[in-house]
Amino acid sequence: MYCCGPTVYDYAHIGNFRTFLFEDFLRRALKRNGYELIHVMNITDVGHLTSDADEGEDKLMKALKREGKKPSVKAMLELAEYYTKAFFKDSSLLNIEKPEAVPKATEHIEEMVELNKKIEKNGYAYKTSVGLIFDTGKFKDYAKFGKLNLKAQKAGARVKVDEERKKPWDFALWITNQPSHIMQWQSPWGKGFPGWHLECSAMSIKYLGEQFDIHCGGEDHIKVHHTNEIAQSEAATGKKPWVRFWLHGAFLIMQKDKMSKSAGSFVKIQDLVDKGFDPLAYRYLCLTANYRSKLSFSWKVLENAQKSLNSFRSKIKHLNELNELDKNNKRKYAKKFDERVNNDLDLPSALALAWSVVKAKDLGSKEKVELLLDFDQIFGLKLAESLKKDEAPKKVLKLIKEREEARKKKDWVAADALRDKIKSLGWKVQDSREGPKLEKV
């Protein structure tokens, strides 16, 4: 499985992470079904221009200016490394499993040059002042994947008009007309750097072969990026289909538009943390909509997801403390769960089943806990951590002791004040016949 990874010129926003979460759910589902998975996700650290259509600045060069750094290869690589680490830190907060391979574009230039040589040798490329250009007119199925109506398309509607190109939508494989670009390499077509589309083809073919099973990405990649990937990969290898199955995640919607950095609707994972949310509440939110459907985001919606996640954790903890007899119906629920997950990742339905397990009268408490922990192999909500006993700090234990002494003296005012103080430290006291019980808030 190959997934289009981040262009590391800024922090990834939660709209980006909706796609990475969908791919993580898919990864977990494939492994649950017994597949031996090789999951590759690239890091784009060069060549992605501000427009997906071969124009504008390299996004990393633009980021250097934004951050007031003096342009140099060293500065560009350091910037890319900083945002790569930030991406994986955020991924970890969302409990996203790391792919088996995470290749960087700058470390695979040789593979990109070799792929271009094959494309050119097979008659699918020509040179212009821009660089080496892919000849889409030679690739008869070019419009098929994106269902493009190229005849009806106005010039400049999808890509910048370039009089040197045979077709307006012919795209760059190797760019040589940007002498001020910081990172450039020698090639048979002149000194330059790879086109963004080429990078994914070269790296996926290196790690997965000339034909592989699954390619994922956001739905915005269909009409240009993935269409171009297919054309250049099949032109180079002659293998059709290059990819057997394509899966695309739908947008996260905020105020009627897709979330994007350029639109200013840019919410980072750290923003969720700063507002007091558990990042896994956002993971829970993404479980509530199918990956093909747009998902609306608001702080209120996230607040509701946080409440549901908290309730889920509280329920499983309570169930773990009960001792209800098993009723031998676990297999029935496990089968239903797998059917829902395997029905095109119908995770909203799978999540609903998990809630029905909590309330089921034909299951014992132990069975319920085992099922929920099993389901969490897909959900990734770290429910097992809810079963760990929270160790209260010494300061809280000292206050509990003082409160018990106040209760023995029937000094209810002091006892209530101590209870409030304990709560302010993040702990709730529940009085019982066996003595006070502490629960982390």
Mode of pairing for the β-strands spanning 125-127 and 131-134:
antiparallel
Share of the chain above pLDDT 70, in %: 94
**pLDDT the model gives residue 293:** 96
- Which long-range contacts does 233-240 make (Cβ < 8 Å, 24+ apart)? 233/201, 233/204, 233/205, 234/139, 235/119, 235/122, 235/124, 235/134, 235/138, 235/139, 236/115, 236/118, 236/119, 236/122, 236/124, 236/201, 236/205, 237/118, 237/205, 237/210, 237/211, 238/122, 239/210, 239/211
**pLDDT the model gives residue 270:** 95
Per-residue pLDDT at 251 exceeds 60: yes
Answer yes or no: are the C-beta atoms of 175 and 54 closer than 8 Å. Answer: yes
Q: Which two tokens stand for residue 416?
A: 């209530």
For the stretch 133-189, pLDDT in tens is 999 999 999 999 999 888 776 555 555 667 899 998 999 999 999 888 899 999 999
Answer yes or no: are the C-beta atoms of 183 and 175 closer than 8 Å. Answer: no
**pLDDT the model gives residue 253:** 92
Least confident range from 47-56, 71-80, 161-170, 215-224: namely 47-56
Least confident range from 117-131, 164-178, 248-262, 346-360: namely 248-262
Per-residue pLDDT at 263 exceeds 60: no
Distance CA 392, CA 144 (A): 61
**pLDDT the model gives residue 54:** 66
Q: Calculate mean pLDDT across residues 210-215.
A: 98
pTM of the prediction?
A: 0.87
Choose among 58, 54, 294: nearest CA to 158: 54
CB atoms within 10 A of CB 94: 19
pLDDT confidence of 53, banded at 50, 70, 90?
Answer: low
Share of the chain above pLDDT 90, in %: 73
Mode of pairing for the β-strands spanning 131-134 and 257-258:
unpaired
**pLDDT the model gives residue 358:** 96
SS (H, E, C) 200-221: HHHHHHHHHCCCEEEEEEEHHH
Compute the mean pLDDT over every residue in the chain, rounded to the nearest whole number. Answer: 91
Choose among 209, 181, 144, 202: nearest CA to 59: 181
Indicate if the alpha-carbon torsion angle 254, 260, 264, 268 is positive or negative: positive
**pLDDT the model gives residue 140:** 92
pLDDT confidence of 394, banded at 50, 70, 90?
Answer: confident
Categorise residue 289: left if φ over 0, alpha if ψ from -120 to 50, beta otherwise.
Answer: beta
pLDDT confidence of 402, banded at 50, 70, 90?
Answer: very high
**Beta-bridge mates of residue 243:** 212
CB atoms within 10 A of CB 317: 17
Q: DSSP state, 223?
A: I
Q: Calculate mean pLDDT across residues 393-422.
A: 90
For the stretch 274-331, pLDDT in tens is 999 999 999 999 999 999 999 999 999 999 999 999 999 999 999 998 888 888 899 9
**pLDDT the model gives residue 258:** 58
Q: Which two tokens stand for residue 80?
A: 């890319």
Q: Calculate mean pLDDT across residues 61-72.
A: 90
Least confident range from 26-40, 108-122, 262-276, 360-374: namely 262-276
**pLDDT the model gives residue 49:** 79
Distance CA 41, CA 6 (A): 9
Q: Which two tokens stand for residue 27?
A: 């990864």
Answer yes or no: are the C-beta atoms of 372 and 351 closer than 8 Å. Answer: no
Distance CA 88, CA 97 (A): 10
**pLDDT the model gives residue 61:** 87
Answer yes or no: are the C-beta atoms of 40 and 212 closer than 8 Å. Answer: no
Choose among 374, 351, 349: nearest CA to 305: 351
Per-residue pLDDT at 210 exceeds 80: yes
**pLDDT the model gives residue 162:** 77
Phi/psi at 137 (5° precision) = -65, -25
